[in-house]
Structure 1
Amino acid sequence: MKTFVISMPTSVERRKHVTDSLSSKGIAFEFIDAVNGRENKHPLLHRYDRAHYIINRGREAKAGELGCYASHYLAWEKACELNEPIVVLEDDLTVQDDFVQIINDCEQWISKKGFIRIEPWKTKLFTKIQTGKNTNLYYLFKIPQCTTGYIISPKCAKAFISSSQQFKMPVDLFLRHTYLHRQPIHGVMPPAVKTGTAPSIIGDRAQRIRTPIIALKRTIYRISTFCIVALVNAGMFIKTKYT
């Protein structure tokens, strides 16, 4: 499978780090130039749904979050263009020594499973569904956040694109909200990459819009989506367990 790294063209140090890390292990890759949300020039940034974003997060989107979503959207388009599964990485990562072996294990699963996280994940709601030579595959009932590294099939990429006509939340939360895209999310253990330690370029996400009406809408939204996601994930697990 081809490997693509999402990275800002101006992030010289990050690009050097990821180039050195992957090249040292003989991993060929290509950069996908990340979208700079602060410039507000890319057409994908106009998909921002401000009203829904505020209900979901209690605040407006950060420019970096919209750029991140748009950048992953470009990666999904790449999978569709090639019509084959691809490895997608962000440039702030640590590549594990057994990266290639783990990816080789995932290659036998990805066409049927659609999406496999290859970074660490922490959740108590999971179950092992496949055993590989170098890693094991798990079905994740509760989807962790973060999008440092994953493998995606063209079918899954098309579903993500179709469900991203508006950017209503950060891209990692979009993945968690499986009722939007109806794609099961899997993870491996041990992981092929780990998140790096470089400061986030997205910015401060702590500021909230604190009004009673927003708080009420957020509460209703969170309760309803929790129930819907739980039902959808359980249904997809039953459907995909033996495929």
Structure 2
Amino acid sequence: MLTLVISLPTSTRRQEKISVRLQAAEIAFVMLMGVDGRELSASEIKSFAPSRFMARFRRPILAAEIGCTLSHKLALETFLASEESTALILEDDAVVPANLRQAIASLLVHLPGDWGLLKVGGIGGVRGRLLLETAVGKIVRTHATTVCAHAYVVSRQGASQLLRNILPIRFPYDIYLRDTHVHGAKAFEVVPTLVAQEDLAGSRIDQGRIENPSSSEMRSMLAYFAWKLGYEIRRRPHVLKIMGLSAAVAPSRITRHS
């Protein structure tokens, strides 16, 4: 398994901390220098995100959020250029447990041959169908993963599917990862989560979101409702197809495997 850690050249302290953690977990890794959104030109931003306004959040997408997506795009492409069959992709603020390598190995053996994405780190509730309870945690076949993109495993098929619709950038990468009906990768998540994330108080993205709250203008609200209608029209059939009627009707529940 290839392990890639996404970082920025200036984030030396984070690089030092996660290096120590991965060494303790006996995981060999590659430190991958990502894209700093602050260094993108206006023309580059326009090419990657032609419509910067996100109706679902009623605000423009941040340059840092664009940089985050491009960094994960680079990680997926780097993986596919290798000869490895799976990749663990981490952000440099991931808190890696000492048993992560063994835990992931024990989870992967239970996944079907066409799996694409296994989230091992995230914040929020997991929605989907319980596949199996293991010593590591519950494996859930999910139609909507948790948010945050600091720790996930992909197969070659999954990486290809994630890359297929990653551009143009329409919303933050962790939301793209969550919306399985958009990228189409067969997604699973372990509950409880294995990889935590350090305090986000100093995150440039988090700070940018605080400084750019959702607009309450009527035009923004109308755009949101139009987006929401289209979103549900596309999402509900996807949930129904892969999860069944109960999940489509009550998508916030984890249903038992049948």
- Given the superposition, is the C-alpha separation of residues 71 and 126 from structure 1 closer, same or farther in structure 2, using an over 3 Å criterion? same
CA shift for structure 1 position 121: 4.4
| Partner Cα distance (1:186, 1:124) in 2 | 10
Mapped to 1, the partners of 2:38 and 2:112 lie a distance apart of 34
SS in 1 for 2:35: coil
Question: For residues 44 and 96 of structure 2, what CA distance do their matches in structure 1 show?
Answer: 30
Residue 5 of structure 1 deviates from its aligned partner by: 0.5
Q: Does 1:205 align with 2:209?
A: yes
Partner of 2:229: 223
Tell me the alpha carbon deviations over residues 37-82 of structure 1, each in whole angstroms, 9 at most, x when there is no partner: 000059974311325x332321111111000000011111122212
C-alpha deviation, 1:131, in angstroms: 3.9
Deviation at 1:225, TM superposition (A): 0.8
Q: Which runs of 4+ in 1 moved over 6 A?
A: none
Cα 1:197–1:27, aligned 2, differ >3 Å: closer, same or farther? same
Change (3 A) 1:124 1:18: closer
RMSD: 2.5
TM-score normalised per structure 2:
0.83
Tell me, what secondary structure is at the counterpart of 2:74?
A: helix
CA separation of 1:159 and 1:188: change in aligned 2, threshold 3 A = same
Q: Percent identity?
A: 22
The 3 A distance-change label for structure 1 pair 124 and 37 is closer
Question: Which consecutive unaligned segments of at least 5 residues does structure 2 have?
Answer: 245-255
Give the CA deviation at 1:120. Answer: 4.1
CA spacing shift, 1:191–1:159, aligned 2, 3 Å:
same
Alignment of 1:1-243 (within 5 A): 1-40=1-40, 45=45, 46-51=47-52, 53-82=53-82, 84-108=85-109, 109=111, 111-123=113-125, 125-198=127-200, 199-202=202-205, 203-206=207-210, 207=212, 208-237=214-243
Please say if residues 121 and 187 of structure 1, whose CA atoms lie closer than 8 Å, have aligned partners that are also in contact: no
The structure-2 alpha-carbon separation of the partners of 1:135 and 1:226, relative to structure 1 and needing over 3 Å to count, comes to: same
Structure 1's 27 and 36: CA in aligned 2 closer, same or farther, altered over 3 A?
A: same
Residue by residue over 1:123-177, the C-alpha shift from the partner in whole angstroms, topping out at 9 and shown as x without a partner, is 2633221344433311123332110100011111111111122001111111233
SS at match of 2:118: strand
**Larger displacement relative to structure 2 (6-15 or 223-232):** 223-232
Give the deviation of 1:100 after TM superposition.
1.7
Question: Normalised by the size of structure 1, how large is the TM-score?
Answer: 0.88
Deviation at 1:110, TM superposition (A): 7.2
Q: Distance in 1 between matches of 2:222 and 2:243?
A: 32
123-132 or 183-192: bigger deviation: 123-132
